[in-house]
Amino acid sequence: MGAIPASTFAYLIISLVICVFGPIAFLVIIGRKMPLRARIMLTGVILFIVFALLLERLVHSIVLKEGSPIMTVTAYYVIYGCLMAAVFEGAAKFVGLKYMVKEPTSPGFALQFGVGYGIAEAAILGVLPLASNLATAFQINKLGYDKCIETLAEQGADAATIEAFESNMSMLYENNLTCLLGGVERVAAVIMQIALTMIIFQAVKEGAGKKNYIYLLLAVVLHALFDMPAALYQKEAISNVFVTEVIILIEAVIAAVIAYLLYRKNVEEFGKPVNPQSEYNA
């Protein structure tokens, strides 16, 4: 392969800027409405790492074995992947809001928890891969594609790692516009995570009862539906990446509207987004 085109670099950089400054924009907007509390946002970051990156992936390593029907049948793979993400991440939000945020009835604190959770996802699943792809693209254009493959082999990379590298790099050559859409998808994911947090906050506030389970179920279903287009695209059940991204954006907007209505309802009920007597305001 030859040099990676300049358009790929432009799209990667734009996408990286979106991933970095999109979440910062959320912080600025929220910071104008209420005092920001780093401890609450850090709780969201930690729970994303524990539930989404450690516990969920541990289950995947056990279930997704070579030759498993889940790996070979598209329907099984999509249903399993979307539900697992929805359940584990829903559990993370529920645990955080019920047991770790000391003012579970303050909608502003729930909002900040969701921002922290969403920023963690944007940074780990968006910024880091984009930065890695950008650095690798520079390396390929400097040393040449074949030399980079040779270097990987010399460093002890196995056949699966080299195959994954070649697949990833082929995207930068052949379908480089997806590099731009990646940033848009990460911002949509942050919106979705904030929205889901507000829905689960409503479940926590309702306490035990029918409404509690309805809100939890709503959060799980919306999360699974949000992940479904990307999973179908990954398995090539959807071939057009633009269709995938449009569906994701529409779902994020719907969830955001639901969450906003819940947020306004709670602010009107409590008078302020953050409890003025809370120790977090000291």
Least confident of 48-52, 181-185, 272-276: 272-276
Any domain includes 223 = yes
d(CA 194, CA 214): 18
Could you tell me what percent of the chain has a pLDDT over 70? 90
d(CA 36, CA 28): 10
Q: Reply yes or no on whether the pLDDT at 1 is more than 50.
A: yes
Least confident of 10-14, 53-57, 110-114, 145-149: 145-149
Q: How far is CA 80 from CA 85, 200, 264, in A?
A: 9, 21, 34
- The sign of the dihedral angle between the CA atoms of 54, 59, 62, 67 is negative
d(CA 154, CA 114): 43
Q: Which residue has the higher pLDDT, 163 or 104?
A: 163
Any domain includes 19 = yes
Kindly report, residue by residue over 170-184, the tens digit of the pLDDT.
777 666 677 777 888
Q: Region 251-271: what's the mean pLDDT?
A: 81
Any domain includes 104 = yes
Any domain includes 189 = yes
- Mean of the per-residue pLDDT values of the chain: 85
Query: Is the whole model's pTM more than 0.95, yes or no?
Result: no
Any domain includes 12 = yes
Residue 213: pLDDT band with limits 50, 70, 90: confident
Long-range contacts made by residues 253-257, C-beta under 8 angstroms, separation at least 24? 253/191, 254/222, 255/191, 255/192, 255/195, 255/196, 255/199, 255/222, 255/226, 256/191, 256/192, 256/194, 256/195
- Burial grade of 38 (CB within 10 A; 0-12, 13-18, 19 or more): exposed
Contact 252, 227 (CB under 8 A): no
Least confident of 14-18, 171-175, 254-258: 171-175
Q: Region 243-254: what's the mean pLDDT?
A: 88
Q: Which residue has the higher pLDDT, 13 or 158?
A: 13
d(CA 2, CA 170): 11
- Structural domain of 139: 6-145+157-277
Any domain includes 163 = yes
Q: Establish how many alpha carbons lie within 13 A of residue 263's alpha carbon, considering only the half-sphere containing its beta carbon.
A: 21
Helices 178-206 and 107-122: crossing angle in degrees, nearest 10, is 150
Q: What is the pLDDT of residue 46?
A: 96
Any domain includes 272 = yes
Any domain includes 172 = yes
Q: What is the pLDDT of residue 26?
A: 85
Domain count, the chain: 1
**What's the token pair of residue 23?**
């979440």
Q: What is the pLDDT of residue 60?
A: 92
